[in-house]
Amino acid sequence: MTNRSKITIEDVAKRASVSIATVSRAINNSGEISAGTRARILKIIEEMGFSPNRAAQSLKVRQTKQIALVVPDIRNAIIPDIAWSVEQMAKQYGYRVIQINTSGNPRTELEAVRDIKQLHVDGMIIMPLAYPKTLAALINKCAVPISILNFGKRLVGEIKADIVSLSVLEGKLVMEHLQGIGRTRIAYAGTSTKLIEDRYIAYEESVAHYDESLVYLGDELSTQMGERAADYFYHLERRPDAVYAVNDMVAIGIVNRFKKLGIRVPGDIAVVGIDNNPLTVLTEPQITSVSIMGSEAAGLATQMLLRRILESPEREYEKVRLEPRLIVRESSLAVMRT
């Protein structure tokens, strides 16, 4: 016997061979939908015993049919893929997406959550860089639902949000790979250890003997910062034999600068980044990276958010973990050291 309490709007849409947005319009008697289609959908709803959440229906007059996507830096080439996935999933529910770029500024990120009412949105998806306790406090008293795309951030305490994250620390995969190909003097190029700190923690916990000189912390996650990091490592009295870059934009800057400085990658120094940025296959050499499953995670986070908005605002918050993948390319191939 079918458990009617577990029937969702997706089940109704599948049975009626229409989109989720069309079912929503039929329920709310809004938008472009023919009388015949609406009647057919309502009949299916009755037959299946689907009961749209009363609280969600009571809010329909206040719904804007918009959600916000807060990203750290639109210059990072993984962001368009993430934004595309969010937009495509939102369209299925009849929603539009407003994108907010924080330019890697944690305070701007916190302001977006704090001032969410001014955005006139029904919910928000955020990729956090900001301070965990402050961010959690703002989310927990937020007026609209929030989904979190969590990459490299150590979220602590109870957070009233649906969260999509990774099952393994991205940095752990990087360090295991570099140590596995025999690199012993591994450097780290990142930003403040308070931002995406799990990536730094993975480095710190993986090195046998911590050497402060092998850690370069810049002020942004960009190719320019990568170039500055490369210059720093180049001028060390004892250079590293590998560099773990906090993201691919930094890794790209490092590889390009090393090439100009006459450093062979991976012959002299191996380089690995994180994100699986599409630009990593356009460099010479191509750059090894950890895929954070950005498109998949973004689509899932959007679906979780919109189901909460449209169906069940009071349901238990979900935490979903995806499996990251190490993609080995030329920048960290094992080579004969001479």
Query: Do 152 and 178 share a structural domain?
Result: no
Query: Do 82 and 159 share a structural domain?
Result: yes
**Do 294 and 275 form a contact (C-beta atoms < 8 A)?**
yes
Residue 109 lies in a domain: yes
Report the amino acid identity of residue 282. L
**Least confident among 216-225, 251-260, 312-321:** 312-321
Query: Do 258 and 239 share a structural domain?
Result: yes
Tokens 């990536």 sit on residue: 199
Q: Which residues contact 137 (CB under 8 A, 6 or more apart)?
A: none
**Could you tell me how far CA 14 lies from the centroid of its own chain?**
28
**Could you tell me how far CA 176 lies from the centroid of its own chain?**
22
What is the rounded average pLDDT of the residues 157-162? 89
**Could you tell me how far CA 293 lies from the centroid of its own chain?**
8
pLDDT at position 56, please? Answer: 52
Distance CA(288)–CA(272), nearest Å, equals: 5
**Do 281 and 23 form a contact (C-beta atoms < 8 A)?**
no
Quick: pLDDT tens for 65-101: 899 999 998 888 899 999 999 999 999 888 999 999 9
More confident position, 27 or 54? 27
Specify burial of residue 114 (Cβ count, 10 A radius: 0-12, 13-18, 19+).
middle
Query: Do 212 and 124 share a structural domain?
Result: no
Residue 263 lies in a domain: yes
How many domains, in total, are found in the chain? 3
How high does pLDDT run on average in the chain? 88
Both tokens of 166, joined, read 């990774």
Specify burial of residue 252 (Cβ count, 10 A radius: 0-12, 13-18, 19+).
buried
pLDDT at position 2, please? Answer: 52
Maximum alpha-carbon separation in the chain: 78
Query: Do 317 and 283 share a structural domain?
Result: no
pLDDT above 60 (res 210): yes
More confident position, 104 or 169? 169
Distance CA(312)–CA(331), nearest Å, equals: 47
pLDDT above 50 (res 187): yes
Query: Do 298 and 154 share a structural domain?
Result: yes
**Do 220 and 245 form a contact (C-beta atoms < 8 A)?**
no
**Domain span holding position 240:** 170-291+327-332
Query: Do 42 and 22 share a structural domain?
Result: yes
- Taken as a whole, the chain contains a residue count of 338
What is the rounded average pLDDT of the residues 215-222? 91
Quick: pLDDT tens for 115-139: 888 888 999 999 988 777 888 899 9
The two counts, helices (H) then strands (E), for the chain are: 12, 12
What is the CATH number for 175? 3.40.50.2300
> What band does 6 get if pLDDT is binned at 50, 70 and 90?
low
Q: What percent of the chain has pLDDT over 70?
A: 92
pLDDT at position 59, please? Answer: 47
pLDDT above 90 (res 240): yes
Both tokens of 25, joined, read 């319009």
* Planar angle of CA 252, 255, 258, nearest 5 degrees: 145
What is the rounded average pLDDT of the residues 41-63? 68
pLDDT at position 189, please? Answer: 97
Distance CA(87)–CA(69), nearest Å, equals: 9
Query: Do 223 and 205 share a structural domain?
Result: yes
Name the pTM for this structure.
Answer: 0.77
pLDDT at position 335, please? Answer: 61
